[in-house]
Chains A and B, each alone.
Chain A
Amino acid sequence: MIKDEEKPLIRQDDRSRSGGMQHHLAAHAREIPPSGIRRFFDLVSASKDKDIITLGVGEPDFVTPWRVRDAAVYSLEKGKTQYTPNAGMPELREAIGQYLSNQFHLTYDPAKEMIVTVGGSEGIDLALRALIEPGDEILVPEPCYISYSPITTLSGGVAVGIETFAEDQFKLTAESLKAAITPKSKVLVLCYPSNPTGAIMTYEEMLPIAKIVEENDLIVISDEIYAELTFKGNHSSFASLPGMKDRTILVSGFSKAFAMTGWRMGYACGHPDLISAMLKIHQYTIMCAPTMGQVAALEALTKGGLEEKDRMMESYNQRRRLVVQGFREMGLECHEPQGAFYAFPSVKSTGMTSEQFAERLLLEAKVAAVPGHVFGKGGEGFLRCCYATSVSQLTEALERIDSFLRSLE
């Protein structure tokens, strides 16, 4: 039904509608495939079934804490509707600096080493665009967030996936990193806690990675947007490793920990030379992140958001235990996610591909979950299930998956 995943849809149109506008498109725009998540979304939307329980989202089920929303509303009432400085409101950058220091023992100069972006998404884009030259290789441990490789392509680089395995809890190993490095390798993208696997990497586990990064003169883009959602121990930032601060562009944001996806607020921190290059691109393309979003982000970091953040985090943790146990009880292997809000059970025992499984689960059991192969190498055979949804919905979803599995026997 949706087997043309690998073939870019645009190409198909090209053939069927001669005289269309496709030939005007740049090759890189034509050739990046549409997101697998998007395709699955279309499939779910097309079914128009009100009864579907979705585990397919990648965002909190909480609305932004009220005080944060209120701060933004109040700022609008006061008429704060102008541009801010390109790098973001100085008081917001101060607050981010203070926050990073309190939470993760990182010290960044808000004036030179920081930029407020339109979501973590823009931070990733800026970092890659500032670093990549045609042909550069960008190392991406997979399965991972779906955007890294297409943005790399758009910037003229070549994404090189490094497969990670459930046996290693989907952590990047020094051996596989070393094996993937070539003279063209320039950037390593890290994302821990990970979307979609929920894997984390501890300080000790990252040390050998840092050594290889140093030896091979790599730059690391460390996407730590799920840092606050770490359930086992405390999150260690890659930038906090010895010698790594100057080699790391830390990308983070407010979407996940503060339940602010729609606000589009993020930030990037790093060496002044790297940040000022990113700032140039940002200034010519975006000017500055939205002002009301910046006001809201400031409130989130200072007064209104921190306590709520801890409360939401505890609630995710409770639901995480429920879901992981649920999958294991129904006989699906499920490594223990230690961060973010995704469980990544294996459906290999059913003999189906993850796409077949996800599609049948949707149609027969009315549960939507994202097939793992869309997240790159090593994702095939797994299912991404976001547990940021109510306990009653989760319980119902688990029951449905369980009876679906039993119907296969």
Chain B
Amino acid sequence: MNEFKLSILDLLKEDARLSAATIATMLGAEEADVSSAIAEMERDHVIVKYATVINWSKVDDEKVTALIEVECTPERGRGFENIAERIYLYPEVKSVYLMSGAYDLLVEIEGKNLKEVASFVSNKLSTIESVIATKSFFILKKYKQDGIIFEEFEDDHRLLVSP
């Protein structure tokens, strides 16, 4: 990845709403070059999606998030690919990672309430053939996610005017 594209990614990572024109000004580049670099990265799935980071705990409509450790038997030849796919296709599943260590997959699940998540784990996850065991952990509070601190930590505490 060249430096130009990396600089664009750095800026978009902070604020996905920056226009190509603004990015071009900030980098001292041509707008057309920025647009085409962005288009290229979208095409190559370097940029996968423009999303919004939401602090759901501030919204009345609260959600429950759980992390599930899944132990399972790999399949000959395909390892964990099939089972990972079976799991990530469920809309309740937010992320799936293959892990080293005591268990195999880490699955993040989001549901309306505790009961919904629990029933997903017992009815859907645990019943998949190659799954040996699951262990659920409910997230009580999010302090930081994707590098973003959720508390009002990043306020500007400077005086309004100074030398």
Interface flag for A325 (CB, 8 Å): yes
User: Are the C-beta atoms of A392 and B11 separated by less than 8 Å?
Assistant: no
User: Are the C-beta atoms of B159 and A41 separated by less than 8 Å?
Assistant: yes
User: Are the C-beta atoms of A392 and B15 separated by less than 8 Å?
Assistant: yes
Number of interface residues of A (CB under 8 A): 28
A370 to B162 alpha-carbon distance, docked (Å): 9
Residues of A within 8 A of B162 (CB): 37, 41, 56-59
Which of B15, B18, B158, B163 is A146 in contact with, Cβ under 8 Å?
A: B163
User: Are the C-beta atoms of A37 and B161 separated by less than 8 Å?
Assistant: yes
Which of B26, B28, B158 is A57 in contact with, Cβ under 8 Å?
A: B158
Q: Given A318-B11, A391-B18, answer yes or no on A56-B25 (Cβ-Cβ < 8 Å).
A: no
Interface flag for A40 (CB, 8 Å): yes
Interface flag for A368 (CB, 8 Å): yes
Residues of B within 8 A of A395 (CB): 22
- As a 0/1 sequence over residues 318 to 339 of chain A, the CB contacts with chain B under 8 angstroms (1 = contact) are 1101100100000000000000
Q: Given A319-B26, A321-B28, answer yes or no on A54-B160 (Cβ-Cβ < 8 Å).
A: yes
User: Are the C-beta atoms of A391 and B161 separated by less than 8 Å?
Assistant: no
User: Are the C-beta atoms of B158 and A370 separated by less than 8 Å?
Assistant: no
A57 to B161 alpha-carbon distance, docked (Å): 5
For chain B, the bracket of interface size reads 10 to 19
User: Are the C-beta atoms of A41 and B25 separated by less than 8 Å?
Assistant: no
Residues of A within 8 A of B26 (CB): 318-319, 321-322, 391
Interface flag for B156 (CB, 8 Å): yes
User: Are the C-beta atoms of A391 and B15 separated by less than 8 Å?
Assistant: yes
Interface flag for A276 (CB, 8 Å): no
User: Are the C-beta atoms of B161 and A368 separated by less than 8 Å?
Assistant: yes
User: Are the C-beta atoms of A44 and B156 separated by less than 8 Å?
Assistant: no
A37 to B162 alpha-carbon distance, docked (Å): 7
Interface flag for A52 (CB, 8 Å): yes
A45 to B160 alpha-carbon distance, docked (Å): 7
Residues of B within 8 A of A59 (CB): 158, 162
Interface flag for A61 (CB, 8 Å): yes
Q: Which residue of B lies closest to A320 (CB)?
A: B26
Which of B25, B156, B158, B163 is A145 in contact with, Cβ under 8 Å?
A: B163
Q: Which residue of A lies closest to B29 (CB)?
A: A321
Q: Given A322-B22, A391-B15, A391-B18, answer yes or no on A57-B27 (Cβ-Cβ < 8 Å).
A: no
A36 to B112 alpha-carbon distance, docked (Å): 57
Q: Given A322-B26, A391-B22, answer yes or no on A57-B11 (Cβ-Cβ < 8 Å).
A: no
Which of A45, A58, A321, A325 is B163 in contact with, Cβ under 8 Å?
A: A58
- As a 0/1 sequence over residues 149 to 163 of chain B, the CB contacts with chain A under 8 angstroms (1 = contact) are 000000010111111
User: Are the C-beta atoms of A54 and B161 separated by less than 8 Å?
Assistant: yes
Interface residues of A in 32-79 (CB under 8 A from B): 35, 37, 40-41, 44-45, 52, 54, 56-59, 61
Q: What is A's interface to B at a CB cutoff of 8 Å?
A: 35, 37, 40-41, 44-45, 52, 54, 56-59, 61, 145-147, 195, 318-319, 321-322, 325, 368, 370, 389, 391-392, 395
11 more contacts with CB within 8 A, not counting A41-B161, A57-B161, are A56-B161, A56-B162, A57-B158, A61-B158, A145-B163, A318-B27, A321-B25, A322-B26, A325-B25, A389-B156, A391-B18
